[in-house]
Amino acid sequence: MQTIAVVEDDRHINEVVTEYLKADGYMVISIDNGKQAGEMLENGVSVELFILDIMLPHVTGLALLKKIRSDNRYSKTPVIMLTAVSDEYTQLLSFEEMADDYITKPFSPKLLVKRVQALLRRANNISVAHKSGIYIDENSYLAFEDELPIQVTIREYELLKLFLQNPGRVLNRQQLLDAVWGYDYFGDERVVDVHIKNLRKKLKRQIIVTVKGVGYRYDVALNGGAV
């Protein structure tokens, strides 16, 4: 379960954000002042994403952002600034200090959760790529292994993208068909097996493993192989 730190001194907003995130399956550390958040950073508490207000008691959100980015343990951790401060200068300063997103109040809790999901998905893809040496460029529809291009078809690209987005999760053939071929596809499910077989031939690391009787799983361990 991924952990999110919500640093917000407005009790009502803190509670609302916390409840929405918990309902979406996240563990939440709820904090109402900058000093306590700073102490959490010093203790090295494991956090996958920060949501920071700017106008906090004791230590501002921007000061916390600087501290996060200067700490090797959190330097790549996604940070969302959630604040009533809407002037352009503060927003630009936040992005210069490497905030990943900036949301002004009032806001939609549902949209906040969607932005959290997107940032964590991106962060997870970067982590997977770092561990496996395999990554994709969604702008160019190219795939790479060890920084060298892999000659994949569009279907193979979409399959690889889906596996990268779901590391360690078993995906059955119907899920793969729905995601890559579309819900209106009524052909033979074995088309999935053929495309995965061809994709495996193009990868140096055999990290798409078969889970017998269920489907396939992307294994980020470098020694992973077909079962």
| 147/130 Cα distance (integer angstroms) | 11
| 169/28 Cα distance (integer angstroms) | 23
Q: Tens-digit pLDDT profile for the chain (227 aa)?
A: 789 999 999 999 999 999 999 999 999 999 999 999 999 999 989 899 999 999 999 999 999 999 999 998 888 899 999 999 989 999 999 999 989 999 999 999 999 999 999 888 777 655 555 556 788 877 677 888 887 889 999 899 999 988 888 888 899 998 998 888 886 666 677 889 999 999 999 998 888 999 998 999 988 764 343 33
CB 179 within 8 A of CB 173: no
CA distances from 14 to 94, 118, 134 (A): 21, 21, 38
CB 53 within 8 A of CB 83: yes
| Pairing relationship of beta strands 3-7 and 27-31 according to DSSP bridges | parallel
pLDDT at residue number 124: 67
DSSP structure class, residue 141: T
Complete domains list, the chain, with CATH = 3-127 (3.40.50.2300), 133-218 (1.10.10.10)
Place of tokens 């999901």: 117
CA distances from 145 to 4, 133, 134, 151 (A): 31, 5, 4, 10
Q: Provide the whole-model pTM.
A: 0.59
CB 105 within 8 A of CB 80: no
